[in-house]
């Protein structure tokens, strides 16, 4: 399978590239992204075939359908990393909360967030490709809190790979920050920036497209890639668990193969729900994709009105910081699929230059055939956390945003799968406040409080963060990022 460009080809690149080329150089012509030329059609036969398959077997077969130019032994080695999750036989448990409501727990990997599901195998594959080609790569990562730890974990001490990870200095939880700044592998650089995630992501995209930065790297015999979901190497692994979750409902006798379900995804940069979108296109029986946002509800407005408007909008720092994003990169891939390259380039140009684009009524209708959306305030989220805990389930604030959208958007009497993207340990002060009313507690205090209240154990990989040495203490202005990265190299 080859990949093409969301905004069309400007002539400086090949009009079609392989998977390995797309993951090594993820930014396409006109600042666009790479997407598959076509998607494999799975059908009900594929689902029936994998009713009793392990997660790795399902993943292996799905990847084979894409016919990517990666050796089978490399894929097998990458997928074997799921064996290190909490339960090697089931890395993604699907838990019943109540009638027609289920939670997919995506956080059972090494950094306790859903990014491990994609970045663990992706990092292994990208490093293997770089070594096979005898090339050195700088991997850029911009994070709102979860991509960073997962990228650092997967790439640490990998040959032919260096990583520069940018995070908003005051925009993550203590645990997320400590997961990054205590990493001590020599090939890693963690940079706090005075700004928000959108600033970090814009810096990443600018560096990926910068000729002067590229020339500076070439002088050091280094090529450039990215670990964010602008890289399709991330997205391809985020398709798998949506199919797995559906099969889990079949195994639990909740649905029969062919019955439709809702998929309810907390959304920031749109990569997670994009995986669900592709799974639906490939034949997964999905009624609607439910977009759950926090108070930065730019995606809700897009789905409801067809207008993506960033004018005069300041990013709100919420209790679900991994979703504190205004410019959601992966919406572009949906625009391309629905409206084509020319229209996508026009819309994205408007967003870049005017900070707004507007879909036609026909275009909005197409979008609304697939997506519905709502947003959840911080206070509403804490109420859902408390109510859910009282009913026997402990969850983080990102998962909580899905409960509002479930109530307002899941209008049919069919099962709905909510996606839990982070373990409670990543955002303990918010949860402690929701459960007991305590405020301004530091993470370690809140962790112990919740552990006692809920009678749950704090995982050792979280506990040990508070005694580890801080290795990365760099905090800079966003204008100095390029200089700081070159100094590291």
pLDDT at 264: 98
Report CA torsion sign: 204, 294, 116, 129.
negative
Q: How far is CA 7 from CA 4, 17, 352, in A?
A: 9, 15, 13
What one-character DSSP code corresponds to residue 422?
B
DSSP letter (8 states) at residue 470? P
Q: How far apart are CA 225 and CA 223, in angstroms?
A: 7
What pLDDT score was predicted for residue 170? 86
Q: Which residue is associated with the tokens 């070439």?
A: 218
Alpha carbons within 13 angstroms on the beta-carbon side of residue 428 total 25
pLDDT tens track for 21-65 = 999 999 999 999 999 999 999 999 999 999 999 999 999 999 999
Query: What's the pLDDT band for 164 if we cut at 50, 70, 90?
Result: very high
Return the sign of the alpha-carbon dihedral for residues 327, 328, 330, 334. Answer: negative
Instruction: Give the E-state strand segments of 109-179 in sequence order.
Output: 137-142, 161-168
Q: Is the pLDDT of residue 350 over 90?
A: yes
Under the banding of pLDDT at 50, 70 and 90, the label for residue 171 is confident
CA distance 83 to 73: 16
Band (pLDDT 50/70/90 cuts) for residue 205 is confident
The per-residue pLDDT for 178 is 97
Task: Please check the confidence at residue 221 and state whether its pLDDT lies above 90.
Answer: yes
Whole-angstrom distance, CA of residue 162 vs CA of residue 224: 10
Closest CA to 190 of 219, 231, 156: 156
Three-state DSSP at 290 gives: strand
**Confidence grade of residue 201 (pLDDT, cut at 50, 70, 90):** confident
Please give the domain boundaries of the chain with CATH numbers for all domains. Answer: 79-113+233-467 (3.40.50.1100)
Tell me the C-alpha distance between 247 and 414, whole Å.
Answer: 15
Task: At 210, give phi and psi (nearest 5°).
Answer: -80, 120
Does residue 224 carry a pLDDT above 90?
yes
pLDDT at 437 over 90: yes
What pLDDT, on a 0 to 100 scale, did the predictor assign at position 194?
A: 95
- Tell which residue, 401, 422, 334, 391, has the closest CA to residue 113: 422
d(CA 387, CA 432): 13
**How remote is the C-alpha of 204 from its chain's centroid?**
16
Calculate mean pLDDT across residues 185-206: 93
Residue 483, number of CB atoms within 10 A of its CB: 10
The total of other beta-carbon atoms located within 10 Å of residue 469's CB is 7
Beta strands in 237-306 (DSSP E): 261-266, 286-293
Give the Cα separation of 479 and 241 in Å (integer).
38
Task: Give the mean model confidence (pLDDT) for residues 363-385.
Answer: 98
Running DSSP on this structure, what letter comes out for residue 321? G
Whether the per-residue pLDDT at 440 is higher than 90: the answer is no
What are 5's strand-pairing partners? Answer: 34
Which band of pLDDT confidence, cut at 50, 70 and 90, is reported for residue 441? confident
């Amino acid at each position: 399978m080859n990949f093409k460009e969301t905004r069309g080809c400007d002539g400086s690149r090949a009009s079609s590239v392989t998977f390995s080329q797309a993951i090594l150089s993820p930014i396409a012509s006109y600042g666009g992204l790479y997407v598959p030329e076509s998607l494999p059609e799975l059908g009900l036969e594929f689902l029936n075939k994998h009713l009793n398959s392990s997660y790795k077997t399902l993943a292996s077969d799905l990847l084979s359908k894409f016919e990517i130019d990666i050796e089978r032994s490399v894929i097998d080695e990458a997928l074997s990393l799921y064996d290190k999750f909490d339960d090697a036989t089931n890395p993604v448990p699907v838990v019943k909360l109540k009638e027609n409501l289920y939670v997919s727990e995506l956080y059972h990997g090494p950094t306790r967030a859903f990014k491990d599901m994609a970045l663990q195998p992706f990092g292994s594959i990208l490093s293997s490709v770089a070594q096979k080609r005898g090339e050195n790569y700088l991997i850029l990562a911009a994070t709102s809190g979860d991509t960073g730890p997962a990228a650092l974990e997967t790439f640490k001490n990998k040959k032919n790979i260096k990583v520069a990870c940018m995070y908003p200095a005051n925009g993550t939880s203590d645990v997320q920050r400590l997961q990054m700044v205590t990493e001590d592998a020599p090939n890693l650089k963690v940079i706090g920036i005075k700004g928000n995630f959108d600033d970090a992501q814009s810096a990443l995209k600018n560096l990926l497209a910068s000729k002067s930065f590229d020339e500076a790297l070439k002088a050091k015999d280094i090529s450039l890639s990215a670990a964010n979901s602008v890289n399709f190497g991330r997205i391809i692994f985020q398709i798998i668990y949506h199919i797995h979750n559906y099969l889990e409902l079949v195994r639990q006798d909740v649905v029969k193969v062919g019955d439709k379900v809702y998929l309810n995804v907390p959304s920031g940069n749109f990569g997670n729900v994009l995986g669900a979108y592709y799974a639906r296109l490939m034949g997964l029986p999905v009624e609607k994709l439910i977009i759950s946002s926090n108070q930065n509800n730019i995606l809700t407005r897009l789905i409801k009105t067809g207008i993506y408007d960033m004018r005069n909008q300041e990013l709100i720092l919420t209790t679900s910081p991994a979703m504190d994003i205004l410019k959601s990169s992966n919406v572009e891939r949906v625009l391309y699929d629905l409206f084509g390259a020319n229209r996508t380039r026009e819309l994205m140009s408007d967003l870049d230059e005017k900070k707004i684009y507007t879909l036609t009524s026909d275009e909005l209708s197409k979008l609304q055939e697939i997506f519905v959306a709502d947003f959840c305030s911080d206070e509403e989220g804490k109420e859902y956390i408390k109510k859910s805990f009282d009913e026997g389930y402990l969850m983080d604030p990102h998962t909580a945003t899905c409960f509002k959208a479930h109530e307002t958007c899941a209008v049919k009497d069919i099962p709905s799968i909510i996606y839990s993207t982070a373990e409670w340990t990543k955002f303990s002060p918010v949860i402690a406040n929701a459960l007991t009313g305590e405020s301004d507690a530091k993470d370690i205090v809140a962790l112990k409080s919740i552990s006692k209240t809920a009678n749950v154990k704090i995982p050792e990989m979280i506990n040990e963060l508070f005694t580890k040495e801080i290795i990365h203490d760099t905090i800079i202005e966003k204008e100095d990022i390029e200089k700081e990265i070159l100094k590291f190299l």
